[in-house]
Chain A
Amino acid sequence: MRPDLHIELGGGAVLRPYTPADADALYGLIDSNRVRLARWFHWVDDATDVTSQTAYIASRVDDGRSLDGNGIWVGEDLAGGCDLMINGSDDMGELGFWLDEAFVGRGLVTRAAQALMARGYESEGLHRMQLRAGVDNLRSRAVAKRLGLREEGVLRGAGKVGGGLYVDLVIYGQVVDDWRKTI
């Protein structure tokens, strides 16, 4: 987590890290999207109550590396999350995101991810971005395409999702030279 992160996404939307005071909102939003999210994310099973989200937020320490533990906020409302995990030994960033059903279709995740990618390449010296999405997660895969990431393969059974099930993940990647051509 980077406590200082604050990115305006336009239209009154902001990407910023969670604070302890956000645990209620975070749990409430996960809980109301539980069935949708459990298809793709194992961590939904760990979101059992507000305390679990207080613990999650507390575990996102400022390590000077990954840009994780971020919420997408529209006005006062939490709309979802968007993170960039950094693998420093390979100069690589990995994107992850989710969105409340009511906010789908406004381009919020695409803009949040674009902002994190720009910061990753320009300020963090990253060389490559990666995203892994469930084969059947068409919305997520559409975001990957909009971000200009290229499909690189299918990792079989690599994603653990809700209920202890596994899904195949499409791996998408982009190197910094490709990104420069898109901006």
Chain B
Amino acid sequence: MNRNQIYWDLGDRVVIRSYTLDDAQALFDLIDANRDHLRPWMIWEHTTKSVDDTRTFIQSCLDESVSIEGNGIWVDGELAGGIGLDIDTLSNSGEIGYWLAKPHEGRGIITRACERFFDVAFDELGLHRMELQAASGNLRSRAVAGRLGMFEEGVARDGIRVADGYLDSIEYGILEDEWRARRVPT
């Protein structure tokens, strides 16, 4: 699998695909249109000031050879959000991170995107564990963790830096056997 050139059709007109440099403008425009929505949780909202910043971000993802960072979530061919898998080879685990533009919320898109990433992480990449960090007040993100069957394992106090300071980070985890047990067809 080329980790910088993924293209996964999730069905129902939702596609996950790696960003290319040609996506820099669309990515900037979507962030720019969702600033109030992103600012409470995402430190990169206020450091994304121009299309140069999204281009730099995309290039850094394209330079990455281990993690699967820098992927857009496309709905009906339009960019709707982003998702990435940060892989730690030392512990053989991965951490998922994502965001979604406000108009696309509430349709299960992020949950489905994460499910695909978890399948790939455990089945193709042989990872042992997946993690997710969500700010304690980010109830939408925490609901995703719950739908994925992840376990709340702890609270890292002030573990997430945002524009206005620091937020407690709820640490979620799920192990390979737990994920497989959930994915058995019923």
| Residue A42 lies at the interface, judged by CB distance under 8 Å to chain B | yes
Chain B residue numbers with a CB within 8 Å of A171 are 153-154, 156, 171
Known: A128-B166, A154-B153. A160 touches B91 (CB 8 A): yes
| Residue A91 lies at the interface, judged by CB distance under 8 Å to chain B | yes
A153 touches B157 (CB 8 A): no
Identity of the chain A residue whose Cβ is nearest the Cβ of B43 in the assembled complex: A89
Complex CA distance for A175 and B161, rounded to whole angstroms: 12
Interface SS, B side: strand
Residues of A bordering B, CB below 8 Å: 42-43, 89-92, 127-128, 130, 150, 152-160, 166, 171, 173, 175
Minimal beta-carbon separation of A160 from chain B (angstroms): 5
Residues of B bordering A, CB below 8 Å: 43, 90-93, 128-129, 131, 151, 153-161, 166, 171, 173, 175
B160 touches A153 (CB 8 A): no
B173 touches A158 (CB 8 A): yes
Minimal beta-carbon separation of A178 from chain B (angstroms): 9
> Top 10 A-B pairs ranked by shortest CB distance?
A153-B154, A90-B161, A152-B154, A175-B158, A160-B91, A153-B153, A157-B175, A128-B158, A157-B129, A171-B154
Minimal beta-carbon separation of B84 from chain A (angstroms): 13
Complex CA distance for A158 and B155, rounded to whole angstroms: 15
Chain B residue numbers with a CB within 8 Å of A130 are 156, 159
Complex CA distance for A92 and B168, rounded to whole angstroms: 13
Minimal beta-carbon separation of B66 from chain A (angstroms): 15
Minimal beta-carbon separation of B86 from chain A (angstroms): 11
Complex CA distance for A120 and B128, rounded to whole angstroms: 32
Identity of the chain B residue whose Cβ is nearest the Cβ of A177 in the assembled complex: B158
Chain B residue numbers with a CB within 8 Å of A127 are 158, 161, 166
Identity of the chain A residue whose Cβ is nearest the Cβ of B178 in the assembled complex: A156
B159 touches A160 (CB 8 A): no
Complex CA distance for A156 and B154, rounded to whole angstroms: 10
